[in-house]
Structure 1
Amino acid sequence: MTVDSKTYGLDTLRDAAKKAMCSQADIARFIVDGRLQCVATLKGNRDYGSILVDESEVRTLLYGVDATTLSLPDFAERGGFGRQAAQALVKYGHVESVSVVCSGHRTARISLSAATAFEERYVSLGKLSRERGEHFKTVWKALKEQGVRPAFDPVEVFARFYRRSDLQA
């Protein structure tokens, strides 16, 4: 498939490898073996950087599909915060995870029950602002004026999380 420009959901091999936490060679192997369903190239380009793949499909091939757990990127997407924040939440023990080895790669997985428990107890500033339909700075200022403090050090976890119990309706 040839596309005019980089489209949503498709990444270069370099970006997909970074996001999926694997090597570009792993992805190239999937392409050569015909295991990736979605492979595209940028129109007019013929170099290595013009190859586009679906990063979520790469992750599925690498780590498999487990209906009872979430990958860190999936947890971050579900919670409305960045991958770096998800990694920090696991690193500092704010959310429980299990370490799984699949296809020779060690990765952290979060059980659905742990993700749900975290979401019931905490909310990110970004998700809270989307829920309220207000700009995040407006929500942040209002919380600050009410004396509501973040549940975790924002510098440590790369995002602002608040206890839902501390928020006024």
Structure 2
Amino acid sequence: MIGLDLFTGYVLMMGVVAGLGLLVLLYTEFDAVEYDSFVLITVAGLFLFIIGGPLTELLAPSAVHWIHGVAALLVLFGLYSPVQNDLRREEWASLLLTDPSQIRKPAEWMAPIDDAVLGLFHSSELVLTPAIIAYNIDYSREEVNRRLTRLEEAGLVERVERGKYRLTELGERYLRGGVDLDGRN
């Protein structure tokens, strides 16, 4: 019986620490990020599950299933829009899958167009011409041509034949954030 009480205390303590950490994270980032209501509903459900479950287990064990049910509903309504009868795929994708260019560190010589060009290569895994790249990223063909020359000099793309380029292994590693280009160039 003592082992069960120690275990319950441990679970409660871990729940409180995790919940407080979540609240601190939300509080410190609240000014920097505009949270949508679906995020707050999901977090409230997780918080209720993490904190409310162990507390209810200690104070009113017969009600723990009700607390978990309410927490599950909150998480569900955070992930699913009953009004649109659809999962919130775009909202969560935009929140969780931010632009990778914010994660990797571009070289000092790079321009914003470079990430757009490399991202197009990465998403297609095709051999592309400057005209096709320009059409897909809304830059002029001349600007794309200039940047492809610079990206080729840096080893991020390679010319397959005249006017046709593809991403190199170094370009792939850069897009994954695994290479520091300033150290190389």
Q: TM-score, with normalisation over the residues of structure 1?
A: 0.28
Larger radius of gyration: 2
- TM-score of the aligned structures, taking structure 2 as reference length: 0.26
Going by fraction, where is strand more abundant, 1 or 2?
1
